[in-house]
């Protein structure tokens, strides 16, 4: 199918997740639901996401969330808003290819063009609540990632996803991402192949 840009679905809103309040617990609960859902994410509790990683990214102000449009006011979610999906976006774009600038994959040739650190936004721990499936949360997460990347002043966004995650890989391919040379990125404790696809999107 021809690729198309991700658009924010009607009825959903994206905004930065507040650092204060119960949002760390809500992020943990979101990832617990993803881990518990049978499928191809391959995530395992306390293995991936690593314990504390989401809270650290949240404390740095990197997290964006997807919410019901009516639950967001003044660019922030209400305290009781349901978190339908989340993605962390920052300048840490080392996706396992050996360097943030993409100078090599450990397999000889660079995986992607080497760019300055400030030119690249890395997307991390992108996840949609399984209970919200079919509502366009994945498109909303991409829209959030693009917005966050632009706010960082990045030229491109980069992420990786395991080759076994067929729905994720199909999503990125169908939303205009470019797939670069896969990297060998085994993670002990995850029931996944060692290869991950590298995806890049001009923002």
Dump pLDDT digits (tens) for 94-135. Answer: 776 654 444 344 444 556 788 888 999 999 999 999 999 999
**CA neighbor of 138 nearest in space, from 170, 182, 112, 114:** 170
The DSSP result for 153-165, as a single string, is T-SEEEEEEETT-
Residue 75 has a pLDDT of 94
Calculate the alpha carbon distances from 94 to 100, 102, 115, 189, 198 in Å: 4, 7, 12, 21, 11
Confidence band for 188, pLDDT divided at 50, 70 and 90: very high
Residue 133 to residue 176: CA distance in whole angstroms: 21
Angle at 40 between CA 190 and CA 194, to 5 degrees: 45
Average confidence (pLDDT) over 74-85: 96
Residue 19 to residue 87: CA distance in whole angstroms: 14
Residue 118 has a pLDDT of 93
Residue 158 to residue 178: CA distance in whole angstroms: 10
Give this prediction's pTM.
Answer: 0.91
Is 187:176 a contact under the CB 8 Å cutoff?
A: no
Give residues with Cβ within 8 angstroms of 139, minimum separation 6: 6, 7, 8, 9, 175
Kindly report which listed range (20-29, 39-48, 52-61, 189-198) carries the lowest average pLDDT score: 39-48
Which structure tokens are listed for 23?
């949002």
Which structure tokens are listed for 171?
């999503």
């Amino acid at each position: 199918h021809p690729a198309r840009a991700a658009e924010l679905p009607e009825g959903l809103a994206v905004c930065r997740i507040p650092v204060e309040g119960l949002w760390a617990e809500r992020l943990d609960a979101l990832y617990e639901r993803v881990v518990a859902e049978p499928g191809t994410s391959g995530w395992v509790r306390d293995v991936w996401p690593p314990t504390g990683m989401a809270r650290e990214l949240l404390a740095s102000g990197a997290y964006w969330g997807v919410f019901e449009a009516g639950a967001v006011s003044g660019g922030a979610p209400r305290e009781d808003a349901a978190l339908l999906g989340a993605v962390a976006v920052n300048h840490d774009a080392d996706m396992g290819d050996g360097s943030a600038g993409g100078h090599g994959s450990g397999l000889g040739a660079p995986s992607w063009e080497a760019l300055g650190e400030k030119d690249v936004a890395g997307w991390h721990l992108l996840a949609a609540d399984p209970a919200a499936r079919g509502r366009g949360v994945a498109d909303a997460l991409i829209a959030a990632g693009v917005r966050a990347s632009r706010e960082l002043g990045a030229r491109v966004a980069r992420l990786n996803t395991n080759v076994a995650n067929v729905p994720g890989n199909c999503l990125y391919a169908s939303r205009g991402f470019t797939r670069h040379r896969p990297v060998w990125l085994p993670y002990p404790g995850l029931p996944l192949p060692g290869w991950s696809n590298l995806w890049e999107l001009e923002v």
